[in-house]
Chain A
Amino acid sequence: MAGVRIRPGDWLILGLGLALLAALWARQAGSLEGRVIIRLDGQVFTEASLRLNRIIEVPGPLGPSRVEIRDGRVRVAADPGPRQLCVRQGWIPPGSAVVCLPNRVAVENAAAGYDTLNY
């Protein structure tokens, strides 16, 4: 539209909006297609989608491990193990896994895309 003045602050707002969009896009690219594979004692306990926010309780020998899926990410939120190694690793990056060894629970973030081990 000719003649309409877009003021400097308007450009700023438009730019910030685009930056927000790009950041969201980059953050979720590829991550939401992935699946979460939870193993108990080496056997597949359950598979879940990263798209649905939920908390899964895995009944290990020491007690329940709680696996949290939120906004396309997954982590072990609570674990009865003594050293809390798997909890402290936080959100699991796509393509990797954490193991709560005392409780025999393994959580894998099986993201879509390249898997360099199998490629």
Chain B
Amino acid sequence: MQIELHASEEDRRVAVLAAAAIGLTLAEAAIPLPIPGVKPGLANIVTLVVLYRHGWRMAAWVAGLRIVAGALALGQFLTPAFVLSLSGGVMSLLVLAWAIHLPTRWFGPVGLSVLAAFAHIGAQLLVVDAWLMPGASLLALMPLFLAAAWITGLGNGLAAAQLLKSTSRPNPEVSP
């Protein structure tokens, strides 16, 4: 018996973009970072660009595949690190689903990136507080993590804006 999988054009595009995001995840895991738990989250650049270029549904596919496949590749699947990554990813996607409808005249990729970064770390801190370390006062760590989210959100947003600009079609103000 032969099983055939038919990949549509969209499937292929998702696969290519998810591969780029997974590549960034793996590359960033190899970079030693001074503070545990603080990562630049470079793969979110891909999520943002996909969100603007191809819409939220595809961005969710790319982010979801990146989270699962990235965790598999790093040996973190179903570990607490994976749950943290998933909760942050889901929350930032939810915020992006809302934020993409903000008027594009006023809000661009930089603002959305910062919002998503705050949602990401917020969900992760909630999971840590409720499940991993109940009772520990995370308040002491919040300025540190929020500052990191602010900086990485800004950096990733600028990178996404630059990518969107350099690959822009004739009318860049129209979002899909």
Contact = CB atoms under 8 A, between A and B. Distances in A.
B110 A50 contact: no
Nearest to B139: A71
B137 A52 contact: yes
A13 interface: yes
Contact of A4 (B136, B142, B158): B158
Contact of B146 (A1, A20, A52, A72): A20
Nearest to A24: B143
A82 interface: no
Interface residues of B, number: 30
Contacts of B149: 17
Centre residue among B137, B143, B150 by max chain A CB count within 10 A: B137
A67 B41 CA distance: 41
Interface residues of A, number: 28
A12 interface: yes
B108 A7 contact: yes
A32 B140 contact: yes
Interface of A: 1, 3-10, 12-14, 17-18, 20-21, 24-25, 28, 32, 50-54, 70-72
Interface of B: 102-103, 105-108, 110-111, 114-115, 118, 135-137, 139-140, 142-143, 146-147, 149-150, 153-154, 157-159, 161-162, 165
